[in-house]
Amino acid sequence: MADKILKKLYIKVWRQNRATEKGRFETYKIENISTGSSFLEMMDILNDELIQKGIDPIAFDHDCREGICGTCSLFINGRAHGPDTEITTCQLHMRKFKDGDTITIEPWRAAAFPVIKDLIVDRTAFDKILQAGGFVSVNTGGVPDGNAIPIGYDDAEEAMDAAACIGCGACVAACKNSSAMLFVSAKVSHLAKLPQGKVEAKRRARNMVAQMDKLGFGGCTNTGACEVECPKSISINNIARLNREYLVARFSE
């Protein structure tokens, strides 16, 4: 299908200098955008125009632009990563919008993700959760052969599905409670399903949940919004597994 030209769009974007300052929406007009352009390419074009007019460009996160790094965290028209499924913002294309549309862009809204500037938020809270237990530290010696430790097909598949989490934070942004349970459960699950993760399993679940609560994330009320908006389709079944891992850890104290 041939690309079309969107002759006019209105970009209603959140502008905020830092977390301690009050933010506001500002609207900019942009013209002649190809429907074959990615959303971030449109943002680049808009920023070029703003710079030429002497206006401070819109700050937003991006890195690989291949749907791998999870950096492009934008809330677009009321949805994390925008009006499409199983994609990150960098994979969203302008064909999802119509000529004359007003596109509203916001940062992730969560107390644990304070605004750095405009659309960029501080997601180091996720790093702190991983530092609390999302790793294997047992000394395994030299690099073993790939087939040295037999792992059942179902366990391997579930571990790989959970490991697909890219830590973008869409689950937190989509949740009415700003819960990080889907993220934490994915990181616990992919190790819990593998023999290498069994040694520290109890400590891992206990420490990661404690750190999540300490950082101010909300509780899970099973609305399922996190799973719907996750660009990697991480299943909420992982939350059930995290709850089991956590209960085992607590009862064995």
Q: What is the pLDDT along the chain (253 residues), one digit of tens a residue?
A: 679 999 999 999 999 998 889 999 999 999 999 999 999 999 999 999 999 999 999 999 999 999 999 999 999 999 999 999 999 999 999 999 999 999 999 999 999 999 999 999 999 999 999 999 998 886 666 777 767 788 899 999 999 999 999 999 999 999 999 999 999 999 999 999 998 888 889 999 999 999 999 999 999 999 999 999 999 999 999 999 999 999 999 887 6
Task: Give the C-alpha separation, 14 to 133, whole Å.
Answer: 35
Task: Give the C-alpha separation, 183 to 197, whole Å.
Answer: 17
pLDDT, position 116:
96
- Cβ atoms within 10 Å, residue 7: 10
pLDDT, position 252:
78
pLDDT, position 57:
98
Cα 143 to chain centroid distance, Å, stands at 31
pLDDT, position 44:
98
Tell me, yes or no, if the pTM score tops 0.75.
Answer: yes
pLDDT, position 146:
66
Q: Is 97 exposed, middle or buried (0-12, 13-18, 19+ CB in 10 A)?
A: buried
Fold topology of 5-106: Ubiquitin-like (UB roll) (3.10.20)
- Would you call 212 helix, strand, or coil by DSSP? helix
Task: Give the C-alpha separation, 25 to 4, whole Å.
Answer: 28
* Dihedral, 89, 90, 94, 96 alpha carbons, nearest 10: -40
Tell me if the domain spanning 124-251 has CATH number 1.10.260.40.
no
Q: Where are the domains of the chain?
A: 5-106, 124-251
Residue with tokens 């999540």: 212
Domain 124-251 in the same topology as domain 5-106: no
Contact between 12 and 105 under an 8 Å Cβ cutoff? The reply is: yes
